[in-house]
A and B are shown apart, each in its own frame.
Chain A
Amino acid sequence: MAERYAKIWIRDWWNIFCHELKQIFSDGGVLLIFFIAGLAYPLLYNVVYLNGIVSDTPVAVVDDADCAESRRFIREVDATREISIAAKCINMAEARKMMEDRKVNAIIYFPRDFGRKLAGMETATLSLYCDMSSFMYYKNAMIGTNFVMLHEIGQIQMERYSLAGMTDQEVSQTVTPLGYEDNNPYNRASDYSFFLISAILMIIIQQTLFYGMSLLVGTQREKNRSFASLPDKLSGNGVVRVVLGRGGAYWLLYLGIGMYIAFIVPAIFGIPQRGSFGEVLALLLFFVTDCVFFAMSWSTLITRRESVFLLFLAISPICLFLTGCSWPTVAFPKFWKVFSYIFPSTFGVQGFINLSTAGGDINAAGLQMKALIAQTIIYFFTACLCVYIENWVIHHKEQIEEKRDQLAKKAGIDREEDARIITGR
């Protein structure tokens, strides 16, 4: 008996699995999403962010002081990686014009008394005007000038301290009583692309899967078929077969696409892959499984083919922010923090960054793995529930219609008139 049951189960599962694969490969729109978006977009985004380090931000200088110190400062700023001196302007008006024309992104201004104040052992102040239209400009202008300032301060301090009667050894000791050594081990050059690409890659997996699956669900609903049709002879049983059969088809496809995105794409573009292959693969398996059930649950809401784009396209940039890779998780408002738990990408991205890009061991993504497993279980049950409800609705269509007519009569609504208006006849 049990053996027969298992046989039927597997045969049903296999039929549903093959049917779903056929559906996928006979739909141009879905193929476009899965294979153009899924395969080409990771490459495209990598090309866009290929050079994630902005170097030599052009800066204008207005040197009213015109002294040895200001000239040395300018030379040193020009030598930094962050800044290149693009113009020496005679006054602020000219520099401002250049900034408005976007020929320079910052202005360094030395006031007339800069040299005099330095000679008089006072604090000399220079001004930095930053164009805040992109924080990358601001960051470069700040880092470049501040490093030169600190270096210059060290130099000047040495001169002044020896004038104050200190010995050479005392001077060098007093200038930096406390030293520091800074490390940015996972992103040495503060490369913009490392964190963003890692996040975008995982989000592409989740979103393309969701959009593609929703397209199919919408199409089937439009054709008056159901994504959830059970084999008739089972009389309402076999929900799990449908969920696993359909899910298996996407799972198989996305295991391939996912491995391409998580292993091959970073290798092509030199995104760090510091994790062990097995651990990243384990994370990917959990993530893809989670995404499949996530997409199956949410795609139930889609009643027409196109509505997924109208309703849910804008969720992609929101997902990117909810991963916490740019705006830190600690600064999330509470509500949005809870909201972020809806999406597999929240944990998938963090896990991928910690494991693959930072190269932590499996513990570094332990929390995310647990969350992914919990999500998978929840979404598996919601996916089953959706199939069950859909089936119930199909088999009870007449009763539901009857109930509706009754309710409409009670409320005094003419449903036939409504139908005429909607179809426009």
Chain B
Amino acid sequence: MYDWKGIRAVARRELRIIRNRPLYLVGSIGVIAFCAIFFLTFLNDGLPHDIPIGIVDEDGSTTSRNFSQQLDATQLGKVVRYDSFSAAREDMTSGKISAVCVIPTGMNEDIQSFRQPKITFYVNGLYFVSGALAWKDLLTMVYMSNGAVQREVFRAKGYNDRQIMGMIRPIDIDTHQIGNVTTNYNYYLTGILLPAILEMIVIIVLIYSLGTELKYGTSRHLMNTAGNSIATALTGKLLVWTIVFSAIGFILVLILYHQMHFPMAGSIFNMFIAMFLMVLASEAIAIFILEMLPVPRLALSVGALYSVLGFSLSGFTLPLEAMPPYIQGLAAAFPIRYYYLFHVQEAIFGTGFAGWWKYVIFLLLFLFVPLLGIRRLKDAYINQNYPKD
């Protein structure tokens, strides 16, 4: 039933177009290469360290100096000393330091005589990650200082170290971070961001590739090559692009999970499946957008507006449950959402097929979407009756 000769002819035609327009390869391979290099090097540290924390030491005792030295010695924090609170606060507001810690006058004496002094700290929660980490670091230091004082008290009373541990630390939490043992932001963000960028590239490049046929009036030539069958024309063009995009996707998977050793509880081969299906689903979206709006300039703008939303609606940063219900429904229209869910099952839990078969079906459902407007695209290709640019 398929016109293999026609498909081959269209594919050969597409390759010629790609060869003569560097924009295609720069827009796909060039862009993803730049983004991959950016995110993988930008977040290479995994977890930030040496976050500047301002200390206003109003006490000036050995204890307070000891406190700031120990805070400085932690991996997370780096102490910046200030003489006045107002100066420190100004620097916190301007984002130069992430937190301010005020050590009150007489803290040393108050601790020695058990008058329970209070350390005050202020965190700038508008610089999210650094604020949260600074807060965690300060809290840990306060508890460690408390532990040190308590230990001295019980040593004086003649307890041994094991007993003391039981006295000052009756409960402990053993945390297991499934799928990301080191709280690595690179693993967390880049593993979804790069596929989301690929989704964006697939949609934009494919709309461009299909749209330029209309824009430069070459669509009739395309239809002639394809023996006047829109199915043959699309298959031929998609054959080339699916190979290009899947190759990019597979290389991404290999770089992430093989080269960079991102956590992978399941199998890397299953991620190939996810990547391939996401590419196909994104292609379907691109075709659908052009079918509904066979005006390349508008279709591209719409494609751009659509694809930037994928980053938020995949729900990998702010969970989807926290969004309003109608936005949750909207998220169903983004292939990257299912890629993310697939990734959670395979890379984090390693459940295999039992965990992700649903998402495979959802991704496959996208493939039916272009059928809705296929006639419209054919008419547009033959009649060229829409504005050209």
Please determine whether B319 and A136 come into contact, CB atoms closer than 8 angstroms. yes
Proximity bits, B43-55, A CB within 8 Å = 1, else 0: 1110011111000
A18 interface residue, CB < 8 Å from B?
A: no
**Which residues on A sit within 8 Å (CB–CB) of B250?**
none
Q: Which residues of B contact A124 (CB under 8 A)?
A: 170-172
Minimum CB–CB distance for B106 against chain A, Å: 12
A195 interfacial contact with B, CB 8 Å: yes
Could you say which residues of chain A place their CB within 8 Å of the CB of B348?
131-133
B190 to chain A minimum Cβ distance, whole angstroms, is 11
| Max chain A C-beta neighbours (<10 A), residue from B41, B49, B117, B126 | B126
Tell me if B389 counts as interface (CB < 8 A to partner A).
yes
B166→A310 contact, CB < 8 A: no
Residue from the set B49, B139, B173 with the largest chain A CB neighbour count within 10 Å: B173
Contacts A174-B150, A178-B119, A317-B193 given; indicate if A219 touches B308 (C-beta within 8 A).
Answer: no
Q: Given A33-B301, A36-B305, A309-B304, do A123 and B324 touch, yes or no (CB 8 Å)? A: no
Residue of B nearest to A52 (CB): B318
Q: Does B160 contact A (CB under 8 A)?
A: no
User: Is residue A215 contacting chain B, with contact meaning CB distance below 8 A?
Assistant: yes
**Complexed CA–CA distance, A305 and B304 (Å):** 14
Asked if A194 lies at the interface with its beta carbon under 8 angstroms from chain B, I say yes
Contact pattern, A 104-136, Cβ under 8 Å of B = 1, otherwise 0:
000000000000001011111111111111111
Q: What residues of A have a CB within 8 angstroms of the CB of B42 in the complex? A: 321, 327, 332-333, 336
- Contact of A195 with B128 at beta-carbon distance under 8 Å, contacts A54-B318, A131-B348, A421-B20 already known: yes
Among B1-35, those with CB < 8 Å from A are 16-17, 20, 23-24, 26-27, 30-32, 34-35
- B128 adjacent to A326 (CB under 8 Å): yes
The reply to whether A330 and B130 form a contact with Cβ atoms under 8 Å apart is yes
* Distance between Cα atoms of A331 and B76 in the complex (Å): 11
Distance A183 CA – B167 CA, assembled complex (angstroms): 30
Q: How far is the CA of A360 from the CA of B30 in the complex (A)?
A: 41
Name A's interface SS: helix
Instruction: Bits for B95-130, please: 1 = Cβ < 8 Å to A, else 0.
Output: 100100000000100010011111111111111111
Q: CB-defined interface of B264-285 with A at 8 Å, one 1/0 digit per residue?
A: 0000000000000000000000
Q: Is the CB of A184 within 8 A of B125?
A: yes
Is A164 a contact partner of B146 (Cβ separation < 8 A)? no
Are the CB atoms of A314 and B48 closer together than 8 Å?
Answer: no
Indicate which residue in A122, A149, A152, A331 contacts B45 across the interface (CB closer than 8 Å).
A331
Task: Give residues of chain A (236-292) contacting chain B, Cβ–Cβ below 8 Å.
Answer: none
Q: Which residues of A contact B322 (CB under 8 A)?
A: 51-54, 136
Interface residues of B (CB under 8 A from A): 16-17, 20, 23-24, 26-27, 30-32, 34-35, 38-39, 41-45, 48-52, 90, 93-95, 98, 107, 111, 114-132, 135, 138-139, 142-143, 145-146, 149-150, 153-154, 157, 163, 165-180, 183, 185, 188, 193, 196-197, 200-201, 204-205, 208, 211-212, 218, 221, 295-298, 300-305, 307-309, 311-313, 315-319, 321-324, 327, 343-345, 348-349, 351, 355, 389
- What are 5 contact pairs spanning A and B, CB under 8 A? A102-B344, A309-B304, A310-B23, A327-B129, A350-B95
Known: A187-B125, A360-B90. 8 other contacts (CB 8 A): A129-B178, A177-B149, A178-B107, A180-B118, A182-B135, A190-B128, A314-B197, A328-B127
